[in-house]
Structure 1
């Protein structure tokens, strides 16, 4: 199965569209196949990619960590998903209690990106004191707009997890193969960051997560190929219903559901969820077939501002369709 599924990845690596890539496929029964090719780093020196390398998972942090934590707290009856965030963060927009729209947002709204909040905000440009930046996020009068995929939703959810547990995010237990940075092993390089003035390797790529101390609800998690596949199999076996049920547009509590033109490809079943990360990562779970796959790349290395970096948008669905075709063929 892996040989046919890896074909588009091999072409992309050979053409220099991505420096390196790791593909893993796992079934509900635990059958696992993996393949790795290319470079963990090409600048300033080349380093071959191995299956032991840790990837900056970027926005895969949202479903793998934050949504899982919030749904666990809901299962423990510590929160109600349809109650407002103020149950966990009473000081949210505390200077505008009667009219601030943020005070009416529910946990479910944020999990499914069903809010008025903007996609992103350069919070890191306001400083690098995590406590002060969190206060800024909570008290900001956010510009309103139509519902979009928003990092701000998960920044708020990350703060909610900390408030509800009374501990920083890194205190939450993680499965083997997952870690907050710096990871406990060889790391894949991401971007030569203009803000930090260096190639990032083993430190979080997302600027806002970095300014918040490297750990945030929207980004900051690192993982190995085996670690992400472990998440995939756990979901194949025991996925919380809220992660599969559509809440808004094509979104569930934490994930995107299969729809035409999405990154998982058009061949997967309607009962498929998935998510991507800006650094070039992605994970998809097809429940009807009982198979999941993860494609981990460093497409933003050495810069996000290149035609090569944009190639990930074509590569992801091509890989998804190749995985499904190989699985259906029984190869």
Structure 2
């Protein structure tokens, strides 16, 4: 059964969520290893201050999908090019990291550890509350004496990786080349709105929702990327045909670095957002704004659900975990019945 025959039923949980007022809009895309794809969408790209209908061409703030689509991929490209190795310490390219303490733990962090979230760094820090000068904030990230703790999913890991990419390439993240249908500077009129932000005093549309990424200049290693569903599906298909990554890089994103993490990605575990029917050889990632992407290598199947669940406010129960899981279960059940 082709994805086009699956998409209507697979979209049913999202359609119900829109109907119940839990999320404004959703776009679901499915692509198989042989390149067949289907897309279904419904709802509103914006409901405040004016209503606008979502479409297949709507650009979404991908939030932490930036970590896998851009940052992880770019780091692996640099590894393939011989510019760095995964087990190199960050100080190879950021020699000023914790430069006032040569014995600081941060100076021993490697690219692999940051990609797999196997560091002592905290999950998040409200950096934007310290100011909005991007260069000063980057210096703060590099010189901060971070409180040590057990490994957690950490935005700070990917902020450091973003700084590393800038140092290696000599180019700001916001100016980095991107595939078609991705951008750090999208046309706001083409974008789904996110939050009515009390800090910025407006509905956010076409600028990154994440406050830290905004304060860092609009793009960071952890957030800032925008894209359309077809851009995400193009990316999702690339590991199946080897068009974007080498076999070594594909192996890296599929190989566990911990119970739940691979290089850059989350690996399948019971109870995760992708649904329990995923094969053990499935990787995925989510974004705070309501985005998600899943690649099941055993089935040769990938799907992405893009929503603007934080519009007009994050401070509500959108039911996004249940929606993602229900969507994954539907996609897989229908695919397996072919």
Q: TM-score range by the shorter chain?
A: over 0.9
In structure 2, what is the Cα distance between the partners aligned to 1:133 and 1:151?
14
Which of 326, 333, 336 aligns to 1:328? It is 336
Instruction: Quote the offset at 1:78 in angstroms.
Output: 0.8
Which of 244, 259, 264 aligns to 1:249? It is 259
| TM-score between the two structures when normalised by the length of structure 2 | 0.95
In structure 1, what is the Cα distance between the partners aligned to 2:190 and 2:223?
19
Which of 250, 255, 278 aligns to 1:268? It is 278
2:299 paired residue number: 289
1:303 paired residue number: 313
Instruction: Quote the offset at 1:67 in angstroms.
Output: 0.5
Counterparts of 1:309-320 in structure 2, within 5 Å, are 309=318, 311-320=319-328
Question: Aligned pairs, how many?
Answer: 327
Counterparts of 1:1-331 in structure 2, within 5 Å, are 1-98=6-103, 100-183=104-187, 186-238=190-242, 240-307=250-317, 309=318, 311-330=319-338
Q: Deviation string for 1:68-115 (max 9, x for gaps)?
A: 1111111111111112100010000000112x1100100000000000
Instruction: Quote the offset at 1:211 in angstroms.
Output: 0.3
In structure 2, what is the Cα distance between the partners aligned to 1:14 and 1:297?
14
Tell me, what secondary structure is at the counterpart of 2:138?
helix
| TM-score between the two structures when normalised by the length of structure 1 | 0.97
Partners of 1:52 and 1:185 within 8 A in 2: no
Instruction: Quote the offset at 1:184 in angstroms.
Output: 7.2
In structure 2, what is the Cα distance between the partners aligned to 1:181 and 1:55?
12
Q: Deviation string for 1:274-311 (max 9, x for gaps)?
A: 0000000000000011110000000001100012x3x1
Instruction: Quote the offset at 1:43 in angstroms.
Output: 1.0
In structure 2, what is the Cα distance between the partners aligned to 1:230 and 1:47?
26
Partners of 1:58 and 1:281 within 8 A in 2: yes
More displaced stretch, 117-126 vs 242-251 = 242-251
In structure 1, what is the Cα distance between the partners aligned to 2:150 and 2:177?
35
Instruction: Quote the offset at 1:182 in angstroms.
Output: 3.1
Partners of 2:267 and 2:281 within 8 A in 1: yes
Q: Which runs of 5+ in 2 are unaligned?
A: 1-5
Partners of 1:53 and 1:224 within 8 A in 2: yes
In structure 2, what is the Cα distance between the partners aligned to 1:89 and 1:280?
33
2:3 paired residue number: none
Tell me, what secondary structure is at the counterpart of 1:250?
coil
Q: Deviation string for 1:168-195 (max 9, x for gaps)?
A: 1234321111111234761000001110
Partners of 2:188 and 2:207 within 8 A in 1: no
In structure 1, what is the Cα distance between the partners aligned to 2:92 and 2:187?
33
Root mean square deviation, CA, Å: 1.0
